[in-house]
Amino acid sequence: MDGKKVTFVSFEELTDLVMMSPECTFLGSGVSGSVYLFTVLGEKLCVKKSHEKNYMRIFGHEMNLLHEVDGAGGAPLVRYMAYDYPAMVMEYRGHTDFNEFFYTCKSSSKRILALIKLAESLQEVHDKGFVHMDLKADNVLVQHVEEDSNFHVNIIDFGLARKAGEDHRGFNSQSEHYAPETRIKGKVSPTMDVYSFGDLISFVSDYLKNKKQSKKLNVLAREMMDPEAGKRPNLTIVQERLHEIMNITTKCKRLKKRVVEAVAAATVMVQKI
């Protein structure tokens, strides 16, 4: 099946497709609808269904945008779209959101690696000319690769996304992950996503055991959340800084290993004496 081609079907036909699956698992819900995981011919897919019929325009906007983003940043490709009810079938991109990953992953290095991978995914979206506008933990999925311990970080839910440079009317929300300029009229800019990413990094920094890493992450987060959009670092700089912070763990482990080896060697010498 051509991943770029969207097949339009009736809602009844779309429902029949989902019913072909031996089981359908609820993954989550948001303002515009609920998402379920199902399997057809061995392939995992997701169906997103609206709570109300009047969301047709919103679903249409997201479908068109996902088509243009074309999988950048791990964004799911749309396979089927209902023409008579707001519902669509998309590729499966995992079900572990960033919050769940963070709390179950005990490795500081892996947590920071996830941030690096998120920065790379976000850069892909920006390179396509789009701004996500709603980057937060539950819109980031960590998809594990079964063959090894590697993982992908995918950005989902493009319902609020816009093209960079478009006029933005502003929206009223008190959520802390939104940049201040999203609440007023202006131009859509990638710096809005940088701010939201900084909010996510700030959350991670509070829970790292390595105090030096935590402090440096916190400093980076504050820079990314600067009230003045022009003062925020771009994603290239963010990635460089994250790599530097992750290397702190590697250096600490090397130093710890040397200390352990030195103590062991000294113990052997004392025993010989």
Question: Would you list which residues are annotated within the binding site for ATP?
Answer: 49
CA 2 to chain centre: 25
Range list of H helices, the chain:
11-19, 56-69, 98-104, 108-127, 190-205, 211-224, 235-272
Question: CA-to-CA distance for 126 and 134, rounded, in angstroms?
Answer: 13
Question: CA-to-CA distance for 66 and 63, rounded, in angstroms?
Answer: 5
Tell me the binding residues.
49
Contact 196, 126 (CB under 8 A): no
Q: Is 138 helix (H, G, I), strand (E, B) or coil?
A: helix
Radius of gyration of the chain (CA): 22
Q: Structure tokens of 191?
A: 């710096």
Amino acid at 13: E
Cβ count near 81 (within 10 Å): 21
Q: Which helix (H) or strand (E) holds 37?
A: strand 33-40
